[in-house]
Homo-oligomer: A and B are copies of this chain.
Amino acid sequence: MASHPVAELTSSSSWAMIEDKFSPYAKETLAKLVTFLEEEVRPAERLAKAQLPNDATRWQTVIPIIEELKAKARKLGLWNLFLSKAHYPEHGVPLTNLEYAVMAEIMGRSGHMGSEVTNCSAPDTGNMEVLARYGNAEQQNKWLTPLLNGEIRSAFAMTERFVASSDATNIRTSIRQEGDEIVINGHKWYISGAGDPRTKVHLVLGKSDPNNSSTYKQQSVVIVPADAPGVKVVRHMMVLGYDDAPEGHSEIIYDNVRVPLGNLVLGWGKGFEIIQGRLGPGRIHHCMRSIGAAQMALDTMIQRVTDPTRKTFGKFLYEHGTVVADIAKSRAEIESARLLVLSAALQIDKLKAKGAMKEIAIAKFVVPSMALQVVDRTMQAFGAEGLSQDQDLAFVYANLRTLRIADGPDAVHIQQVGQRELKRAPGLAKRTAEVKKREAELFARHGVSLL
**Which A residues are closer than 8 A to B by beta carbons?**
1-2, 11, 13-14, 16-18, 20-21, 38-40, 42-47, 50-51, 55, 64-65, 159, 162, 164, 166-167, 169-170, 189-190, 237-242, 249, 298-299, 302-303, 305-306, 309-313, 317-318, 320-329, 331-332, 335-337, 339-340, 342-344, 346-347, 350-351, 356, 358-359, 362, 365-366, 379-380, 383-384, 386-389, 394-395, 397-398, 401-402, 404-406, 409-411, 414-419, 421-422, 424-425, 428-429, 431-432, 434-439, 441-443, 446, 448, 450
Q: Which residues of B contact A43 (CB under 8 A)?
A: 435-439, 441-442
Taking a contact as CB atoms under 8 Å apart, the answer to whether B415 and A402 are in contact is no
Dominant secondary structure of chain A at its interface with chain B: helix
Complex: chain B residue closest to A11, CB-CB: B424
Partner of A398, one of B240, B410, B448: B240
B365 & A332 in contact (Cβ 8 Å cutoff):
yes
Contact A335 B325 (CB under 8 A): no
Are B340 and A335 in contact (CB-based, < 8 A)? Answer: yes
Query: Is A443 within 8 A of B164, CB to CB?
Result: no
Q: In whole angstroms, how far apart are the Cα atoms of A96 and B35 in the complex?
A: 34
Copies in the complex: 4
Q: How far is the CA of A42 from the CA of B50 in the complex (A)?
A: 38
- Bound-state Cα–Cα, A389 to B336, Å: 34
CB <8 Å contact, B388 and A239 = yes
Q: Please name 4 further chain A to chain B contacts, defined as beta carbons within 8 Å, in addition to the given A306-B422, A324-B418, A328-B421, sorted by A numbering.
A: A240-B240, A303-B425, A321-B411, A332-B365
User: 16 interchain pairs (CB within 8 A)?
Assistant: A38-B435, A44-B442, A47-B442, A167-B312, A190-B384, A238-B241, A238-B387, A239-B241, A240-B241, A240-B398, A298-B421, A299-B424, A325-B411, A331-B417, A331-B421, A383-B409
Q: How far is the CA of A248 from the CA of B348 in the complex (A)?
A: 47
- A18-B17, A327-B421 known; A51+B448 contact, CB < 8 A: yes
Q: Which residues of B contact A429 (CB under 8 A)?
A: 303, 306
- Cβ contact of A38, chosen from B2, B422, B431, B436, cutoff 8 A: B431
The one of B162, B313, B343 that contacts A14, using a Cβ cutoff of 8 Å = B343
Task: Tell me the bound Cα distance from A21 to B18 in angstroms.
Answer: 10
B439-A47 in contact (CB<8A) = yes
CB distance from A6 to the nearest CB of B (A): 14
Give the distance in Å from the alpha carbon of A65 to the alpha carbon of B439 in the complex: 12
- The answer to whether B42 touches A328 (Cβ under 8 A) is no
Shortest beta-carbon distance, A121 to chain B, in Å? 19
Complex interface: chain B residues within 8 A of A436 (CB): 43
If the complex has contacts A321-B324, A343-B16, are A439 and B405 also in contact, measured as CB distance less than 8 A? no
Which residues from B are CB-within-8-Å of A336?
336-337, 339-340, 366
Nearest-neighbour CB distance to chain B for A148, whole angstroms, equals 28
Query: In whole angstroms, how far apart are the Cα atoms of A8 and B434 in the complex?
Result: 16
A442, B441: Cα distance in complex, Å = 54
Separation in Å of the A23 CB from the closest CB of chain B?
Answer: 14
